[in-house]
Amino acid sequence: MIEKPPLTLYLAAPRGFCAGVDRAVKIVELALQKWGAPVYVRHEIVHNRFVVDGLRDKGAVFVDELDECPPDRPVIFSAHGVPKSVPAEAERRNMIYVDATCPLVSKVHVEAERHHAEGLQMVMIGHAGHPEVLGTMGQLPPGEVILVETVADVTAVAPRDPQRLAWITQTTLSVDDTAAVVAALQARFPAIVGPAKDDICYATTNRQAAVKAIAPVIDALLVIGAPNSSNSRRLVEVGRSAGCAHAQLVMRAADIDWRALSGIRAVGVTAGASAPEVLVDEVVAAFAERHDLTVEVVETAQERVEFKVPRVLREPVAR
Ligand code: 0JX
Ligand code: SF4
């Protein structure tokens, strides 16, 4: 029998589902129980094909825009948030809708509205075209929020009044890259106001810290997550910046580039906030097939955050 090469697999903790994702998935499941299929969902409820396919099998129908939904079926808005125009349109069409926006994204929406009410224009740090950015910027009239992605973008910011400015962020950014953009904004606009640190959520922060903790001892990092998942992609970048040159984003075990991993002695595994634990199990099992595997869990924080589902889904089904 050929001996399997030894490998230590460092499993980052926390990893995978955050409280906002957990709630969003539950909302779709409860809506299907309450109203039956089909229930429409505007945008992928979270950025994970495995989760989306599972809900589709139960009767969810995923659409890009509200006008693809019939007015007589319930519609759910994804965890990433929506511009104000979306619930407004659902109300105009008399639709039943449930907003699965993560409460930590909604908190940024409220913060943006508060700055606006005080007459401040905003700079949002985020990724152009991402649904959360479209949703947050869409809380306010056009021109009220200026988007910057990088330190270099700060040079081009041309506010109405540099004395009346605030900054906000997307919740899933790189903690370190964001700190650099904030510093550039503060240097250019000393009067700018903002949150105590940033708007990056606890889950994003914790998952990045866990990757930093394992990066020095691993030869390669696998991040389980989708290519359109912002927080998952940031984990790959964080791994690389923390010294792990080989970092792969994989949707599941079948995507692993085994050739790139040949000869390694230690691998790190983590999962983005939208990746279910079953895909982590699958990846660990794939390593166990090829290696004499030792699994070490490296826990850098414990998470006890939970969010309630909206009241309409906590009420008993009318018979
Ligand atoms: O692309 P994101 O990281 O914002 O979304 P994803 O992967 O669906 O993660 C969970 C939802 C996060 C909202 O903040
Ligand atoms: Fe909410 Fe953070 Fe999860 Fe996004 S990543 S859904 S902001 S907890």
CATH number at residue 127: 3.40.1010.20
Amino acid of residue 85: S
Give the whole-angstrom CA distance, residue 133 versus residue 94: 26
Looking at the chain, which runs of residues are DSSP E strands? 6-13, 39-42, 60-63, 75-77, 97-99, 121-125, 145-148, 165-169, 220-224, 247-250, 266-271, 292-299
Task: Answer whether residue 137 is part of any domain.
Answer: yes
Same structural domain for residues 125 and 174?
yes
pLDDT computed for residue 2 by the predictor: 82
Under 8 Å between Cβ of 226 and 48 = yes
Question: Domain range spanning residue 220?
Answer: 6-17+202-299
pLDDT computed for residue 317 by the predictor: 63
pLDDT computed for residue 42 by the predictor: 98
Task: Answer whether residue 120 is part of any domain.
Answer: yes
Give the whole-angstrom CA distance, residue 162 versus residue 156: 13
SS3 130: coil
Q: Mean pLDDT, consecutive 10-residue segments, the chain of 319 residues?
A: 93 99 98 98 98 98 98 98 98 98 98 98 98 98 98 98 98 98 98 97 98 98 98 98 97 98 98 99 98 98 98 79
Same structural domain for residues 82 and 131?
no
Same structural domain for residues 115 and 93?
no
171: DSSP letter: T
Other CB atoms within a 10 A radius of the CB of residue 79 amount to 28
Same structural domain for residues 11 and 97?
no
Span from the CA of 79 to the centroid of ligand 2 (angstroms): 8
Write down which residue in 188, 214, 236 finishes a domain: 188
Same structural domain for residues 240 and 158?
no
Task: Answer whether residue 318 is part of any domain.
Answer: no
Task: Answer whether residue 309 is part of any domain.
Answer: no
What count of Cα atoms within 13 Å lies in the side-chain half-sphere of residue 158? 1
Span from the CA of 79 to the centroid of ligand 1 (angstroms): 7
Question: Is 44 tagged catalytic?
Answer: no
Same structural domain for residues 166 and 215?
no
Task: Answer whether residue 1 is part of any domain.
Answer: no
Same structural domain for residues 112 and 58?
no
pLDDT computed for residue 319 by the predictor: 56
pLDDT computed for residue 318 by the predictor: 59
Other CB atoms within a 10 A radius of the CB of residue 114 amount to 11
| Neighbour-count burial of 312, counting CB atoms closer than 10 A to its CB (0-12 exposed, 13-18 middle, 19+ buried) | middle
What count of Cα atoms within 13 Å lies in the side-chain half-sphere of residue 184? 18
pLDDT computed for residue 315 by the predictor: 80
Same structural domain for residues 254 and 280?
yes
CB 204 less than 6 A from any atom of ligand 2 = yes
The secondary structure of 62-118, three-state, reads: EECCHHHCCCCCCEEECCCCCCCHHHHHHHHCCCCEEECCCHHHHHHHHHHHHHHHC
Span from the CA of 236 to the centroid of ligand 1 (angstroms): 15
Tally the domains of the chain.
Answer: 3
Give the whole-angstrom CA distance, residue 144 versus residue 283: 45
SS3 220: strand
CB 124 less than 6 A from any atom of ligand 1 = no
Q: Specify the residue with its C-alpha closest to ligand 1, atom 12.
A: 80
